[in-house]
Structure 1
Amino acid sequence: MLQRFITFFEKRSFGVCTYLGERLNISISKIRLFFIYSSFLAVGFPLVFYVCAALVLDIRHFIKRKRAGAWDL
């Protein structure tokens, strides 16, 4: 049951932790733990950052997809 729960969130997550992990060359699990622990300590502020980062990454992905389609002739 726990593995099913973990797989669900990994497939449907926004990819913020993965993006930050690849950019900063840090383990993804450490970044996820940072977001979890800091959310408890900072009363949810990191969740606001996470949602904003997810929106920015989604918009960047959308723009790159559209741009690639426009230049394919």
Structure 2
Amino acid sequence: MPNTLRLKYFVEHHVFGVCTKIGEKLGISTSSIRLYFVYVSFITVGSPIIIYLVLAFWMNIRRYLRQYKSPSVWEL
């Protein structure tokens, strides 16, 4: 497997997954969301990168809270 395909696989499957999650929620293909993200990042000199990182942080916090949720009264 060439290095570029390995890099593409890593980025698509192991990075935060913000574009994938947005695509699933809106019913839009993930590749078009990534493409628009790149275009908007160049036009606005990188400000969507900050939004992307905030969304990635938020998704990780939600996943963490769901995983380690404290037991309810009924589960005790």
Q: Which residue of 2 aligns with 1:21?
A: 23
TM-score by length of 2: 0.85
Identity %: 40
Aligned pair partner of 2:35 in 33, 36, 46: 33
Greater gyration radius:
2
Mapped to 2, the partners of 1:23 and 1:61 lie a distance apart of: 16
Gaps of 5+ in 2: none
Secondary structure at the aligned position of 1:70 is classed as: coil
1:12 matched to 2:25? The reply is: no
Aligned residues: 72
Aligned-residue CA RMSD in angstroms?
1.5
TM-score by length of 1: 0.88
